[in-house]
Chain A
Amino acid sequence: MSLGRGNPIAMKITLEVNGAPRTVEASPWKRLLDVLRDDLRLTGTKEGCGEGECGACTVVLDGEAVNACLVAIGQCGDRKVTTVEGLAHGEALHAVQRALVTCGGAQCGICTPGIAVCAAHLVDHKLITGDDTATARAKVRELLAGNICRCTGYQLIVDAVIAAARELEAR
């Protein structure tokens, strides 16, 4: 493997993306973000800053929300990735996606896939509950602090995430 100098040799890497095995041939240094967007044409994952600050490229990698701009594809062999394209089942949206639409949690929408992925991960793992107390809202804010939205002021996103958690609890 090249250490980042010259032309790194392309490798075949197999990973599971949204439940399906995918094999790509790429430099191990290529960003997971670019593999998703360019090689696999999964363009729901967005790039806002390329340095792990904005969270627009959030995906779940083996049960952990990560910034796909900070992960090299060489680290992803045999691992499982969930992107925004993997949240809905066909036309049936994830509860978080539905709530983001109904509560007004998406405006320009460029940060929305990253927020949806992170929030869906949090409510699916019951890290966020349907409580709407000041303490519970502060916890939602803390857990989502890696995702920046410039449009909403966050209020309606917090509402949406709590509404989604409540809906999942009621099932």
Chain B
Amino acid sequence: MEAVAPVGTSVPRVDGVAKVTGRAQYLDDLDAADAWHGATVRSQVAHGVLEAVDLDPAFDWSQVTVVTSADIWGRNSILLLEEDQPALAPIGGKVMHKDEAIALVAAPTRALAFAAAKHVRPRITPLPAVFDIREALAGAQILYGSDNVFKQFVIRKGHASDAELEAAFARAAHVIEGDYFTSPQEQMYIEPQAMMAEWRGATCLIVGSMQCPYYVHKAMKHFLACDADGVVITQAVTGGGFGGKEEYPSMIAAHAALLARKSGHRVKILYDRDEDIAATTKRHPCWTHHRLAIDDRGEILAIDVDAVMDGGAYLTLSPVVLSRGVLHAAGPYRCAITRVRGRVIATNHPPHGAFRGFGAPQTTFAYERQIQKLARLRSEDPLALRHRLALRVGDTTSTGQLLEFSVGTDEVLGAIARVAGPAPARDGVNQHGAPVKRGRGVCFYFHGAGFTGSGEQRLAGRAVVAAVDGRFEVRSSSTDIGQGAITMFSQIAAAALGVEAHHVTVVDPSTAQVPDSGPTVASRTCMVVGQLVERAAGVVRGKLEAWAAARGVRGSLHDLARAYADVERRELAEIISYEPPPGIRWDDATYTGSAYPVYGWAACLVDVEVDLDSYEVHIARCVQAIDIGKAINPTIVKGQIEGGTLQALGWAVLENIVYKDGKVANASMTNCIVPTFADAPDLETILVEVPYPFGPSGAKGVGEIPMDGPAAAVANAVEDALGCAFDALPISPEAVGKARAQWEQK
């Protein structure tokens, strides 16, 4: 028996050496000296009618290809959930937001392409634009449907009518009510969006930076009006995604394909950083109104939430983001009567879209601020209060889902309590000699792993494990975007096969050679696709062993695979499709039942130091304890948690997108800032493993959960330090300064 690199050990990343030596080939590193460069002409008007696209007659167009909506022979829409978003604003039709794509140019050099783009002149007749969600709700301008509501949900538990809900509030000893605002956030992957297209006969070949090859495939089939073989999508090494390369790459693929077809050249589109920040999707800003009814014993009688998100100008993934937001909005707390309402609204902002956490960070911020206010009201220890109210096995969630297993509440809260230590002294002086106020905040939260409701069943993801020429291959469309998917898959497959990890190759995701395993999103890659890989590997092992037994062949599985290849002269491949775990029931009409197959559970502790001269909030300490079921590769899991945690801390105190008249006013890394090494505290990470019976080796999702909680923990800590509430993000020096009159009195 060969040694196995077991699941649960931190084997080095498969792609580690390629990345530290600079050999990994991202899209712009591919040898493509012959490729032309594409550039995008964008609207500087937020809402209007595109009358015409004129070309500057003084410019030399002889070496430039220009494409407008008139060149689209298929369907002018980027298909995802709906068909409302065009690839290029239609001439004679509407422009819906600033920086919307209107025309494209391609030229032999990037410099010429960008110069030419400046000489394309859209003629737009402006219409009144709407940027405020309240104005959009009031119907100032109708941008979508009849009421600007892209999607709404109402989830009810324990009451039949609004009157019954209000009766519960009337019975309450205390009602805690608040409005919470979270800001838009840029993913800021360090590799900007990048895509290349080439036509070989009637087949379009797309390679690029992306999370979801089959999303691009679906959109391109629709856009090009071709069948499944008419377009091949291949992921290049991808320099970060965080949701930002979930839906938008389909748009750039469409653009590159148009330019390549018309110019007759391979065409590469690389976004400038400024363009990427201005035009591509960001986290939905959200306004959450939250009410808690509390009885005289401090139990939660009723929860009522109303969350409103700004979807921007097109629907994109907004209904699904809203869904995750509302499904998490009541929080991981016991409560018999809950109502959660959610709406996502059309405005003339550039579309908001997928970003790690996907709606849950917004509503988590609201409920964890509310729970903190409850702790202050009752003068109860914040951790003890959460421990007292938290969901456990046997309880039901806001959708009526009975929690039967893998609830890590006690483990994560206990882990934080054990390491917390004494709270920092309130008053002090920092290293710059400035007076500071210190405070501590905690939060407790959960995150559903995998797709919502019946999503996984509808998707029916597939993965293949194959014995090929004495080696083993994993074929799936799950991409490695830095999160370690290929390393994790090779560990899962190797363990199930009983071979060394280096005998397993994870095939590069291309729609020509891997099945559709579903998108690389929703914390589903390890739990859902990893489980398909584990099952497929188990079947391949069984079949190889049976084949060998029938022929008296002995040896390791690796030896058997070699013998099989020698004798049979073909591969032994097993394709496995998703099957829901037992007991999953979900009703899309009432939004009740098993919202997710399982949840991750987490607790976070943050100590802050507020500089009373500069008003900066310094994160002095951050501890996260997260129940992820099983860490397939603990170092990789730790890296996922710490990366998500810092994105959340950045969102809490320094990241922001500033819109001015519908345009991103800070579209540059100089003023759209993210945390640097110097901004980040040392991060303390505690891995908690309460196994999920239907995940690979017990694993649940990990990618998103660390993003959900820390912002609330920071706000709770700042409230502890200064004695006044901070209910909007970011808690920037400007925000602390504005609240000065409040905290100076404390």
Binding site for B on A (CB under 8 A): 37, 41-51, 53-54, 56, 83-85, 87-88, 93, 97-98, 100-104, 106-113, 116, 134, 137, 140-142, 144-158
Across the interface, B643 reaches (CB within 8 A) one of A113, A116, A145, A151, namely A151
Once A97-B20, A108-B239 are accepted as A-B contacts, the answer to whether A48 and B191 lie under 8 Å apart by CB is: yes
Q: Does B550 contact A (CB under 8 A)?
A: no
Q: Which residues of B contact A111 (CB under 8 A)?
A: 190, 239
Q: Which residues of A contact B17 (CB under 8 A)?
A: 93, 97, 101
Q: Does B189 contact A (CB under 8 A)?
A: yes
Query: Is A153 within 8 A of B643, CB to CB?
Result: yes
CB distance from B280 to the nearest CB of A (A): 15
Query: Which residue of A is nearest B641, CB measured?
Result: A153
Residue of B636, B643, B670, B685 with highest tally of chain A CB at under 10 A: B643
Q: Which residues of B contact A100 (CB under 8 A)?
A: 16, 20
Mark the stretch among B257-265, B481-489, B563-571, B576-584 that contacts chain A: B481-489
Query: DSSP majority for the B interface?
Result: loop
Query: Is B642 within 8 A of A155, CB to CB?
Result: yes
Once A141-B677, A142-B678 are accepted as A-B contacts, the answer to whether A110 and B21 lie under 8 Å apart by CB is: no
Query: DSSP majority for the A interface?
Result: loop
Known: A50-B273, A84-B22, A146-B676. 8 other contacts (CB 8 A): A49-B273, A56-B190, A109-B482, A110-B239, A147-B676, A151-B482, A153-B646, A155-B685
| Cα separation A87 to B19 with both chains bound (whole Å) | 13
| Cα separation A156 to B21 with both chains bound (whole Å) | 18
Once A44-B23, A109-B19, A141-B677 are accepted as A-B contacts, the answer to whether A54 and B190 lie under 8 Å apart by CB is: yes
Q: Does B46 contact A (CB under 8 A)?
A: no
Across the interface, A148 reaches (CB within 8 A) one of B10, B21, B187, B674, namely B674
Query: Is B639 within 8 A of A154, CB to CB?
Result: no
Binding site for A on B (CB under 8 A): 10, 12-13, 15-26, 28-29, 31, 187-192, 237-242, 272-273, 481-484, 635-636, 638-639, 641-647, 668-670, 674, 676-678, 680, 682-683, 685
Query: Is A104 within 8 A of B636, CB to CB?
Result: yes
Q: Which residues of B contact A101 (CB under 8 A)?
A: 12-13, 16-17, 20
Query: Is A145 within 8 A of B635, CB to CB?
Result: no
Query: Is A147 within 8 A of B677, CB to CB?
Result: yes
| Cα separation A40 to B268 with both chains bound (whole Å) | 20
Query: Is B273 within 8 A of A48, CB to CB?
Result: yes
Query: Which residue of A is nearest B622, CB measured?
Result: A153
Query: Is A48 within 8 A of B21, CB to CB?
Result: no
CB distance from B189 to the nearest CB of A (A): 6
Query: Which residue of A is nearest B685, CB measured?
Result: A155
Q: Which residues of A contact B15 (CB under 8 A)?
A: 109
Q: Which residues of B contact A144 (CB under 8 A)?
A: 677
Residue of B23, B239, B242 with highest tally of chain A CB at under 10 A: B239
Q: Which residues of A contact B685 (CB under 8 A)?
A: 155
Task: Show 11 residue pairs from A and B whose CB-CB distance is below 8 angstroms, ordered by the A residue.
Answer: A44-B23, A48-B190, A53-B669, A84-B22, A106-B19, A110-B240, A150-B242, A150-B647, A155-B683, A156-B635, A158-B682
Q: Which residues of B contact A46 (CB under 8 A)?
A: 22, 26, 190-191, 239
Query: Is B22 within 8 A of A43, CB to CB?
Result: yes
CB distance from B607 to the nearest CB of A (A): 14
Query: Is B635 within 8 A of A112, CB to CB?
Result: no
Once A141-B680, A152-B642, A155-B682 are accepted as A-B contacts, the answer to whether A106 and B13 lie under 8 Å apart by CB is: yes
Query: Is B29 within 8 A of A150, CB to CB?
Result: no
Q: Which residues of A contact B31 (CB under 8 A)?
A: 41
Query: Is A109 within 8 A of B24, CB to CB?
Result: yes
Query: Which residue of A is nearest B642, CB measured?
Result: A153
Q: Which residues of A contact B272 (CB under 8 A)?
A: 50
Across the interface, A45 reaches (CB within 8 A) one of B22, B483, B683, namely B22
Query: Is A150 within 8 A of B189, CB to CB?
Result: yes
Query: Is B639 within 8 A of A151, CB to CB?
Result: yes
Across the interface, A108 reaches (CB within 8 A) one of B22, B238, B680, B683, namely B238
Query: Is A153 within 8 A of B22, CB to CB?
Result: no
CB distance from B102 to the nearest CB of A (A): 24
Q: Which residues of A contact B187 (CB under 8 A)?
A: 150
Task: Give 4 nearest A-B pairs by CB, closest first.
Answer: A44-B22, A108-B482, A110-B239, A109-B19
CB distance from B654 to the nearest CB of A (A): 13
Residue of B28, B31, B481, B682 with highest tally of chain A CB at under 10 A: B682
Once A104-B636, A108-B482, A109-B239 are accepted as A-B contacts, the answer to whether A149 and B190 lie under 8 Å apart by CB is: yes
Q: Which residues of A contact B683 (CB under 8 A)?
A: 153, 155
Across the interface, B21 reaches (CB within 8 A) one of A85, A147, A150, A154, namely A85
